[in-house]
Each structure stands twice: as structure tokens, then as C-alpha cells.
Amino acid sequence: MQFAKRLEKIPPYLFAEINRKQNELVSQGVDIINMGVGDPDKPTPVHILQVMHEAIDDASNHNYPPYQGTQEFREAVAKWMERRFGVMGLNPNTEIISSVGSKEAIHNTFLAFVEAGDYTLIPDPGYPVYRTSTIFAGGEFFTMPLKAENDFLPDLSAIPEEVAQKAKLLWINYPNNPTGAIANLEFFTELVAFCKQYNILLCHDHAYSEMAYDGYKPPSVLQVPGGKDIAIEFHSLSKSYNMTGWRIGFVAGNATGIKGLTQVKSNIDSGVFKAIQKAAIAAYSSTNEAEPQAVMAVYQKRRDIIVQGLRSLGWPIQPPKATLYVWVPVPPGYSSAEFVTLLLDKCGIIVPPGHGYGAAGEGFFRIALTIADERLQAGIQRLKDAGIRYTMG
Ligand SMILES: Cc1ncc(COP(=O)(O)O)c(C=O)c1O
């Protein structure tokens, strides 16, 4: 049996070698601290679970859902976009669609808009799906490096004219995985103007829209006047409500973008289980601020443990304002691969190397704040015990 040629073009799985080593060390009895996985360790809030329990018993939820999501779900989303971002008047029938988590919708957007000869503009480092889905769609990606000196924002002036002319999609993701960086409305306004100039669909992956600290509220690209003319935004309940396993999100914005995505999706999936949509409506309709604040308080404490711990070992880092991640430079003299191997061998700590998210991620590694405080503290202690500091020998 032969795989399709397109599979040969997909880069090797980032964690494959790390997993192999982890299994080897675990079989030797090593206590591994895995700081690699961006999957919340806390349960879904109780009021969402209660709605799900009831919805699952209701036979009217058991048949095929509408492709674009139930009317009730899309209306709840439109209201949430108004309340949360001040984005008024999204049309639930043409400007909003439900998705099976955001990963699915991200991938299918490439299938809807990209073909051979087209470019996609994608961040580097970035969520690996932008890259692999460009390949699946038969297009070429042009990477936009996110550099510390530019606050991890792409430099639009570095995109060659001929690439911009052939580009169909431009992807951004703020708050950003893996760098933890944020973007303001002024930058979004520049992006909207750039994409309008070249007629590129601006795709904002907003998977971490609610994952912010110290009172910061990440903006929506649809807040930019005229943003909806050229942009769609991908939202997800995965991280905000500890619902990664439920697989639900939505896409909102430009009607042509939503139409293309709907056409692909209606041929590929059959929507999200209606009971899950009911649970998501409960999440988006809740005005109880205490709940998301409680979710973020957990991560904030962990962020502070990691940032203070690394600073005490000489690391020059600032606490991120958002996401579940801390993007950490490797000590001078090490590559990302060398340093994460050292952490695994000397400390039994697993972290993904920066270059796993793209070549411009070289020189960094990522810590996910998704394990218990004590494990993060134990990790810092292991670094101390092993004599690992930012400025080593
Ligand atoms: C930047 C980014 N986008 C999208 C996703 C996909 O999330 P989901 O499909 O669970 O909504 C993730 C998950 O880690 C992510 O980091």
C-alpha cells in the first residue's frame, strides 16, 4: 500500500523524537516533568457540564446538526462578540459558522482558498497547522519571522511584492502561540490595510482570546473599522473554558470567507453535536466574570512561579501578558535542540524546542503552564540542582 505523495511533503511530527526519549527514560524509572503540552489540566466549569448533562438526554439533539451551527448557537456567538469586543451586528446567517474546534476550520480555510501557484503568508514561529495545511492545499507558504526586536509582530514591509500579489491568505495569531506576544488594534489596522491592498483574506487565529493576565483584554481584528471587509476570525472554547476535548469553536467575519469555509465543511463534516452547541451557548451567554477569572488565576500563579524561578537563575525574561505559554531564550552557546536535550537528560524535563515551530523559533524553547504548581516548582529546583543557569560556562 502506498501513501499519497502529499503525505511525504508533511514535515516530521515535532514531538516524535522527544516522545521516543521520554518513553526510554520513563522505562528506566525517571520521573519526567512534561512542560510541553498546551492542554489545560483543569475540568470544564460545572455550569457548562450541567447544561451538557441535560442536553444529552434530549432526543431532539440526537440527529444531524445544521452544517453552519444551530441558529441559537450563532445568535449566542453574535451577542458574545458584541459584549466582549463591541463588534456589533454580525449576521448569524452569513457571517458566523460553528467549527469542530478551531483546528478543523483553520485547515478547511486553506482548502477553500488556496491552490497551486498561490502563496500563504504565515508566522514563524507559528502553529504548525498553517504550514501543513498550505501543503495539503497544494500552495506555497512564505514565512513571516516573528522577532523579539519587533515584539514578535511580522514586518509587513519585508514581504516581497510578487509574493503579496500571489498571496491568498495571511495568518496571524495574537495572543500568540508559542511566543506569548500580544498585538494592539493599531497593528490590526495596518494588517487590514495591507490585506485590502492585495486582496488577501486576513485570518486571525484567536484561540487564546480569553487567556490574558493582569486585566488585559485582547482585541478582535473585527474591531478595526472595515475589518469585516477582508478578515475572518477563528475562536475556540478549548482553552478559555477548559474544553479541548469537546471540539467546538466558531469563525466570524467576512461573508465570502465564511461562505467558502461552509462549502468545504458541508462536504467534509456534519457539524458539531447539538448538545455540545448547547453547552457552548451556556459558556458564551454567561456574564459571570468570576469564572474566567478563576481559570486565569490558576495560570497566572504558574506563570509567576516560572518567571520568578527562571529570573532567579539569570534568565532575562518578562512575564507574558497572555496565553498559557512562556517563550524562553536558551542560554548563550546552545541551540534549541541542544538545550532541550540537556533539560531532558539532566533534569527529566520535557519542553518543545523553538525551531519546532519554525526556523525563526531557533534560540528559544516553550514552557506550557498546564501542570500543577508543585511540578513547575520541582522543575525549577531541578534546574538549580543541575547548575543550569542562563549564563552557563
Ligand atoms: C494557535 C492555535 N490555534 C489553534 C489551536 C487549535 O485549538 P482547537 O482546535 O482546540 O480549538 C491551537 C491549539 O493548541 C493553537 O495553539
DSSP letter for each residue of 54-92: HHHH-GGGSSPPPTT--HHHHHHHHHHHHHHH------T
Q: Which three cell numbers stand for residue 359?
A: 526556523
Closest CA to 235 of 15, 48, 33, 76: 76
Range of the domain at 297: 5-43+290-385
387: which residues sit within 8 A by CB, 6+ positions away?
A: none
Residue 249, ligand 1, Cβ within 6 A: yes
- Among residues 250, 285, 320, the one where a domain terminates is 285
Which pLDDT score is estimated for 14?
66
Is 27 part of a structural domain of the chain? Answer: yes
Domain check: are 281 and 295 in the same one? no
Per-residue pLDDT tens digits of the chain, which is 393 residues long? 999 998 988 877 666 777 788 888 889 999 999 999 889 999 999 999 999 999 999 999 999 999 999 999 999 999 999 999 999 999 999 999 999 999 999 999 999 999 999 999 999 999 999 999 999 999 999 999 999 999 999 999 999 999 999 999 999 999 999 999 999 999 999 999 999 999 999 999 999 999 999 999 999 999 999 999 999 999 999 999 999 999 999 999 999 999 999 999 999 999 999 999 999 999 999 998 888 888 899 999 999 999 999 999 999 999 999 999 999 999 999 999 999 999 999 999 999 999 999 999 999 999 999 999 999 999 999 999 999 999 865
User: Ligand 1 centroid vs 391 CA: distance in angstroms?
Assistant: 34
Measured CA to CA in angstroms, residue 89 lies from 4, 78, 206 at distances of 44, 7, 19
Q: Element (H or E) spanning 149, and its range?
A: none
Domain check: are 273 and 219 in the same one? yes
Residue 244, ligand 1, Cβ within 6 A: yes
Ligand 1 atom with least separation from CA of 176: 1
User: Ligand 1 centroid vs 66 CA: distance in angstroms?
Assistant: 23
CATH of the domain at 324: 3.90.1150.10
Domain check: are 38 and 50 in the same one? no
User: Ligand 1 centroid vs 247 CA: distance in angstroms?
Assistant: 10
Strand partners, 350: 34
Residue 177, ligand 1, Cβ within 6 A: yes
Is 391 part of a structural domain of the chain? Answer: no
From 14, 44, 177, mutation site for ligand 1 pocket: most ligand atoms within 8 A of C-beta: 177
Is 215 part of a structural domain of the chain? Answer: yes
Domain check: are 224 and 280 in the same one? yes
Q: For the sheet with 249-253, list strands across it.
A: 96-99, 249-253, 231-236, 201-205, 167-172, 119-124, 140-145
Asked if the peptide bond before residue 175 counts as cis, ω within 30 degrees of 0, the response is yes
Cα separation, 271 vs 242, whole angstroms: 21
Taking the C-alpha atoms of 171, 129, 123 and 213 in order, what is their torsion angle to the nearest 10 degrees?
A: 90
User: Ligand 1 centroid vs 335 CA: distance in angstroms?
Assistant: 27
Cα separation, 242 vs 381, whole angstroms: 28
Domain check: are 81 and 123 in the same one? yes
Is 192 part of a structural domain of the chain? Answer: yes
Do 257 and 201 form a contact (C-beta atoms < 8 A)? yes
Which pLDDT score is estimated for 1?
92
3-class secondary-structure state, position 199: coil
- Among residues 229, 263, 285, the one where a domain terminates is 285
The pTM score is 0.97
Number of Cβ within 10 Å of residue 151's Cβ equals: 13
Which pLDDT score is estimated for 391?
86
Domain check: are 270 and 340 in the same one? no
Is 114 part of a structural domain of the chain? Answer: yes
* CA terminus-to-terminus distance, the chain: 52
CATH of the domain at 199: 3.40.640.10
Cα separation, 164 vs 181, whole angstroms: 24
DSSP 214-279: TT--PPPGGGSTTGGGTEEEEEESTTTTT-TTT--EEEEE-HHHHHHHHHHHHHH-----HHHHHH
Is 345 part of a structural domain of the chain? Answer: yes
Residue 130, ligand 1, Cβ within 6 A: no
User: Ligand 1 centroid vs 205 CA: distance in angstroms?
Assistant: 8
Is 373 part of a structural domain of the chain? Answer: yes
Domain check: are 27 and 108 in the same one? no
- Among residues 285, 309, 324, the one where a domain terminates is 285
Query: How many independent structural domains does the chain possess?
Result: 2
Domain check: are 107 and 194 in the same one? yes
Q: Which residue has the cell 521516543?
A: 20
Domain check: are 184 and 300 in the same one? no
Residue count (the chain): 393
Domain check: are 32 and 150 in the same one? no
Domain check: are 135 and 159 in the same one? yes
Cα separation, 341 vs 306, whole angstroms: 19
381: which residues sit within 8 A by CB, 6+ positions away?
A: none
Is 242 part of a structural domain of the chain? Answer: yes
Do 227 and 201 form a contact (C-beta atoms < 8 A)? no
Q: Is 323 left (phi over 0), alpha (psi -120 to 50) or beta?
A: left
Which pLDDT score is estimated for 15?
67
Domain check: are 106 and 135 in the same one? yes
